[in-house]
Amino acid sequence: MANTPQARKRIRRNANRAEINGNRLSRIRTFVKKVEAAIAGGDKTAAAEALHAAQPELARGVARGVLHKNTVARKMSRLSKRVASL
């Protein structure tokens, strides 16, 4: 167990950050699911709007260090391709 004051502080801080990052990831997943639901429904305008709303959320995930930039690039590319093919 952590005995030094800084190690105790790190444990507290890590728990707080894990909660915040988990919430961020959940929010991003929700935006992506909205895009996928619109694609599954075959509604191109709704899918395009959902994709437009998801883009900044994904970019924010990269900026905050929650997601890797290549992961987001891959997701955006695949979603964009699927929306365009509708």
The CATH number assigned to the domain holding 65 equals 1.20.58.110
pTM of the model: 0.87
* Residue 67, phi then psi, degrees to nearest 5: -125, 150
pLDDT at 85: 95
pLDDT at 2: 78
Spatial distance between the Cα atoms of 68 and 86, rounded to a whole number of angstroms: 28
Q: State the amino acid at position 9 in one-letter form.
A: K
Domain of 68 in residue numbering reads as 5-85
Q: How many domains does the chain have?
A: 1
Per-residue pLDDT 10s for the chain (86 aa) are 778 999 999 999 999 999 999 999 999 999 999 999 999 999 999 999 999 999 999 999 999 999 999 999 999 999 999 999 99
DSSP state, 64?
A: T
